[in-house]
Amino acid sequence: MACALRDRFGRHITYLRLSVTDRCDLRCIYCMSEDMTFVPRGELLSVEELDRLASAFVDRGVSKIRITGGEPLVRKGVMSLFEGLSRHLRTGALRELTLTTNGTLLARHADALARLGVRRVNVSLDTLDPVRFRAITRRGTLGVVMDGLRAAQEAGLRIKLNAVALKSVTEHEIHDLIAFAHGRGMDLTLIETMPLGEIGADRTDQYLPLTELRRLIGTRWTLEDTAERTGGPARYARVAETGGRIGFITPMSHNFCESCNRVRVSATGTLYTCLGQEDQADLRQALRGSEADDALRAAISAAIEAKPRGHDFSIERGRPTLSRHMSVLGG
């Protein structure tokens, strides 16, 4: 393996979040506007290019890859990408290959994902109420996601539920979400809404700090902080009554940049070294400019060297911090 990736602040980069599309079959109110303009399909990297790009990161010491979107399972040929990347699991170069999904297509693909070496998945689920689910997603059906969760567990996949904390929503459901997740052996991670992209609504009306939500959780459940980590930004606590874990991702109220070990690549081959900054590097040009990977490796190294110390998110009435939608990189 070549020299491992390390930024100028001494952080080792071992985690790649690779987006395969910015498209999604839902339109969640905190993520997208009702009418979205997506990247033309002709500008996306091919499955073969995505494999080559991800493999270049594996060669530099990246041991975890998360496939994201948009909704990654809507991407044509995405299972071929999982099949290709699974070779790095067999050699031991890659410790984990996983994905984040909204669950709508999970029932269709769960068995194949498990067969190809995926051991756990993150599934977005913000509510257990079918009417509220439709309102939040603007078009989704809760029962379809529930079918996906069942199929994933039957295939042997471990599941972590991701719930975005939404004011006037999550306060009413948090106890039920905990009971649902832990009663089925699933972790639950709570995420503060992030000011990315124009969504046709004011995020100050959505924002619920996790400090407030944690206090509410404490009125019913006993939280015991733990040093457990899964490679991402979540800080975990165990619930004494259930034995299950709750993760807290707090980009707004308390950032996690000091331990950041990850970078993100969009479906067009743009490397973003920080979710909350515009710093980017074009890997597509390096990828397509030569059949050898020397230029690609050099572009990756230069981008990592310039990785910023952290993000500067702020919730301001009327405008997002960045124009880039969360669906570009999968959060």
Binding residues for [4Fe-4S] cluster: 24, 28, 31, 257, 260, 274
Annotated binding site for S-adenosyl-L-methionine: 30, 70, 124, 194
Annotated binding site for GTP: 17, 66, 100, 160, 262-264
Q: Residue 158 corresponds to which tokens in the numbers above?
A: 């471990």
Sequence-ordered strand ranges (E) for 69-208: 96-101, 120-124, 158-165, 187-192
Cα–Cα distance for residue pair 203/315, rounded to 1 Å: 7
CA 201 → CA 197, 316, 323, distances in Å?
A: 11, 12, 14
For residues 46 and 211, the answer to whether their CB atoms sit within 8 Å is: no
The upper half-sphere exposure of residue 308, i.e. CA atoms within 13 Å in the direction of its Cβ, equals: 14
For residues 110 and 119, the answer to whether their CB atoms sit within 8 Å is: no
Q: Measured in Å, how far apart are the chain's first and last C-alpha atoms?
A: 29
CB atoms within 10 A of CB 23: 18
For residues 327 and 24, the answer to whether their CB atoms sit within 8 Å is: yes
Pairing of strands 120-124, 96-101: parallel
Pairing of strands 270-272, 262-265: antiparallel
Annotated binding site: 17, 24, 28, 30-31, 66, 70, 100, 124, 160, 194, 257, 260, 262-264, 274
For residues 66 and 99, the answer to whether their CB atoms sit within 8 Å is: yes
CA 179 → CA 148, 182, 241, 306, distances in Å?
A: 19, 5, 10, 43
Residue type present at position 193: T
Cα–Cα distance for residue pair 226/17, rounded to 1 Å: 25
Cα–Cα distance for residue pair 244/263, rounded to 1 Å: 29
Cα–Cα distance for residue pair 196/329, rounded to 1 Å: 11
